[in-house]
Each structure stands twice: as structure tokens, then as C-alpha cells.
Amino acid sequence: MVLWATMALLGACGRVAPRFEPASLSVESTPAGAGIILDGRDTGEVTPFTFTGLTAAQHTVSVSLAEWHADPESIPIDLRPLDDARVSFALFQTGLRVTSEPPGARIIVDGLDTGRTTPAIVAGLDPGPVRLSLALDTWLCVPGSVEVTVVEGVVTEVPAGSLRLRSRRTVLLEGFSNVNCPPCPQLTANLLALTERDGYGPDRALFLEFAVSWPNPVDPLYLANQAENADRYLYYWVLGAPALYVDGAAQTDPVALEAAAAAVGAQWSDDPGFIIDIAAEPVAGAAVPVTVTLTPSRDVDLGGHVLYVALYENIVTFTAPPGTNGQSEFHHVFRDRVEAPRALGTLVAGEPAVFNETLDRGAAAPDNVTVIAFVQRTADKAVRQAGSTAAAAPARSAFAGAARTKGHP
């Protein structure tokens, strides 16, 4: 009993737990004399300097010296109780500042990985011209590289538009619905939410919705183009609504959002070897001339494939729901397609294949229409690649707006 009491007394009188003890941090730079910024605040001190009595916590350190740039620009450090930590900055006057969208791309200079990812400064480069490129898994750098001149004593800002990252694979989602189908509004909501997620831009995932003739045979979206809506749902033998196909594969549960997201993400690792670009400009009347370009990065055999070119209306809004499911706003509504999809052959690396087509936008406003194209294999209906004017580069097509058509079927 005496031993237990003695131990309890010693525990009660022990020193304060070390987690409450302050830490110290030494900051250095080459060259010295740089102002020190701690957690976004100018401390008024210059390198080299040691801070004492700092809270044991996560801190961010950066330095500033006129006409010099740090590489890296800031350093995070997790100080522990009683730590005596040290950070060092190398300062440069020559280099490149590189950004990208999305960020996180590896920066390649003259074919060598710099070990830096965007956004970042690549410093310590020799003055003169260099070849700059970016690399990011499942993305393409367009163009493949650019020449940039490194200027002595200057960190050159590389224009953001010089190199563009675009998805090497664009996934197509096709929905089938009807205005009297109770779950169909959820399908539309899911497709819209999915393609508006971060990382699911129009060059990553596209969707369009076809109308079926049941349970309401006078669905106005179906009646607007009965033959081609029916041609598409008969192509897949759609037997119920709603239905969802991801790159030509039927989804078990068409209104399971996360399952659809996973199906899309699974396709991004595939490199079809070519990309699809579309140019379309409004003209007088309803005719829409379209140019579709397939650009191969390697030889690709597309025998047994067809090129499907179509047009959808971005948003269609009715003043009152046209059916019994309560839905009055519809998105990416199929309107027209090229009468006979073109049969394809072999694409040769470095030789773009160009196809000119004409679509009919009907009464849809020019700024409320998007043109879409995709390559589909006839044997198993697998969609190999897709593209649209919504992902046009460098600027969005005039067709990719979001105006509303009131009451237009």
C-alpha cells in the first residue's frame, strides 16, 4: 500500500507532459539576407535566424529576397515539443514558373523529369532555349512540348495556355428516359452532378439523353425525333426506363451515382491512341456544319468501327411538367444525328482524319446546342473515344452555352 501511494504521489508531482513545451526553428538561405515569413506573417527577421518559443504545431515557412526566387517556394514543417529544427532555402535568379490545370503535372525539361510538379518554379536552369513538357497520368500534354527561353536573372512565367492538359480518354454516358418514368428525374440529376464534379470536365465525361416511347408514347422529347431516338434504344435493345450505358456497356443500376462514377473512372486508364476534336459554327437557318477530326498518336486499326456524330440541346425547360414524373427541366436532350454513321479504317500516326458533316438544330437556340462525336465498335458496341464542342480548345465553342428554351419540345 505504501509503495502504491508513493508511486501515485510521484505521478501527481511529475513534470508537465512534453507536448506543452515550445520548440525552436532555424531558417537559412543561400544567399543569406532573405526576409522570413512564418505562417503567412512577415516576421521582420532575415536569414539566418533562429526562432525560439514556437508552438509545437504545423508551420509553413517561406522567404523573400528582391529579384531572387526560392525553390521550393515554401516549406511545411511539423514542430514537436522541444524540437530544434532547421530549414534551408536555395534562392535562384534564373528559371521557369510553370502552372497547369489540373495541377500536379510533372514538369519535363529537355526530356528530363525535374522532380517538380505544377504549380512550381524550376530554378537553376542554364540560360537559353529549352523544351518544356508536362506529364500526368491519364492526361495528354497538348502540344507535346514547347520551346521556352530561359533568361539569365529572370524567373520566366510560362503562359498558362502554352501547354494544355486534356484527358486522353473521354467517356460517353447515354441515358434513356421518359416523362412518365418515376425514377428518370434521378437519372438526369445524377448525370448532371457527375459531369459537374471536380475532375469530370467535358473532356473527361460526356452525357446525352435519349427519349423512349414508354410508358408515355407521346413524350414530347421522343416525338421531336421518333426515328432516331428509337434507332438508338433499339441498337442497345433497351427494354426499360431509366437505362444507362457507359461507353456502350449497360449499367446494372442506372440511378446508382457512385457506381456510374466508378465505371467512368475505370475507363480513364485506357489509351485509345487517338483524340476527337469537333468544330461547329452557327449559320443562317437550322443547318449546323460540323468538322470532326480524329488525331492519332500511333497507328490505330478502327476497322469494324463507326463514327457517330450527333447534336443535343443543353437545357430544355417546360413551364409545366409534360409527364407524370414531375420533371420540367431536361439536360443534354438528343436532337439530331448524322443519318448514316461513317465506317472507319486505319488511322496513321501523325495523319489526322477529317470528316465534314451537317446536323439540324431545329428550333434550338445556337448557344444552347452542343455537338458530340464518338467512335463505337460494332461487334460489342464498346465506345472507344468521344469528344464534343463543350471541350473545344482553346476556347469553348459557341454551341456550348447554357441558355434555356422555354417550353420547346
- Residues 135, 49, single domain; the answer is no
> Residues 241-281: pLDDT tens digits?
999 999 999 999 999 999 999 999 999 999 999 999 999 98
User: What integer pLDDT is reported at residue 339 of this predicted model?
Assistant: 92
Q: Which of 166, 200, 220 is the last residue of a domain?
A: 166
User: What integer pLDDT is reported at residue 166 of this predicted model?
Assistant: 93
- Residues 300, 333, single domain; the answer is yes
Q: Which of 166, 195, 219 is the last residue of a domain?
A: 166
- The rounded mean pLDDT for the chain is 89
- The boundaries of the domain holding residue 311 are 171-406
18 confidence band (pLDDT: 50, 70, 90):
very low
Extract the C-alpha cell encoding 265: 473512372
- Residues 100, 87, single domain; the answer is no
- Residues 375, 239, single domain; the answer is yes
CB 334 within 8 Å of CB 208: yes
- Residues 362, 227, single domain; the answer is yes
Is the omega angle on the peptide bond into residue 143 within 30 degrees of 0, that is, cis? yes
Which range, of 21-30, 225-234, 309-318, averages the lowest pLDDT? 21-30
Mean pLDDT of 370-380: 97
Q: Which neighbouring-strand residues pair with 196?
A: none
User: What integer pLDDT is reported at residue 188 of this predicted model?
Assistant: 97
Percent of the chain past pLDDT 70, that is, above it, reads 90
Q: Which neighbouring-strand residues pair with 23?
A: 54
For residue 401, pLDDT beyond 60: no
Q: Which neighbouring-strand residues pair with 97?
A: 121, 157
For residue 406, pLDDT beyond 50: no
Higher local confidence (pLDDT), 155 or 386? 386
- Residues 150, 175, single domain; the answer is no
- Residues 229, 139, single domain; the answer is no
Mean pLDDT of 6-24: 57
User: What integer pLDDT is reported at residue 90 of this predicted model?
Assistant: 87
Mean pLDDT of 309-318: 97
Percent of the chain past pLDDT 90, that is, above it, reads 78
Q: Which of 166, 182, 205 is the last residue of a domain?
A: 166
Q: Give the count of domains, the chain.
A: 3
148 confidence band (pLDDT: 50, 70, 90):
very high
User: What integer pLDDT is reported at residue 393 of this predicted model?
Assistant: 44
- Residues 237, 120, single domain; the answer is no
- Residues 72, 105, single domain; the answer is no
- Residues 138, 190, single domain; the answer is no
> Residues 42-51: pLDDT tens digits?
999 999 999 9
Sole residue written with cell 461513317: 342
Q: Using a cut of 0.85, tell me whether the model's pTM lies above it.
A: no
Q: Which neighbouring-strand residues pair with 76?
A: 60
Give the CATH number for residue 151: 2.60.40.1120
User: What integer pLDDT is reported at residue 20 of this predicted model?
Assistant: 59
Give the CATH number for residue 189: 2.60.40.10
- Residues 69, 145, single domain; the answer is no
Q: Which neighbouring-strand residues pair with 300?
A: 347
SS (H, E, C) the chain: CHHHHHHHHHHHCCCCCHHHCCEEEEEEEECCCCEEEECCEEEEEECCEEEEEECCCEEEEEEECCCCEEECCCEEEECCCCCEEEEEEEEECCEEEECCCCCCCEEEECCEEEEEECCEEEECCCCEEEEEEEECCCEEEECCCEEEEECCCCEEECCCCCCEEEECCCEEEEEEECCCCCCHHHHHHHHHHHHCCCCCCCCCEEEEEEECCCCCCCCHHHHCCHHHHHHHHHHHCCCCCCEEEECCEECCCCCCHHHHHHHHHHHCCCCCCEEEEEEECCCCCCEEEEEEEEEECCCEECCCEEEEEEEEEEEEECCCCCCCCCCCEEEEEEEEECCCCEECCEEECCECEEEEEEEECCCCCHHHEEEEEEEEECCCCCEEEEEEHHHCCCCCCHHHCCCCEECCC
167 confidence band (pLDDT: 50, 70, 90):
very high
**DSSP strand pairing (84-92 vs 23-30):** parallel
For residue 5, pLDDT beyond 50: no
- Residues 115, 73, single domain; the answer is no
As to burial, measured by CB atoms within 10 angstroms (0-12 exposed, 13-18 middle, 19+ buried), residue 275 is buried
User: What integer pLDDT is reported at residue 153 of this predicted model?
Assistant: 84
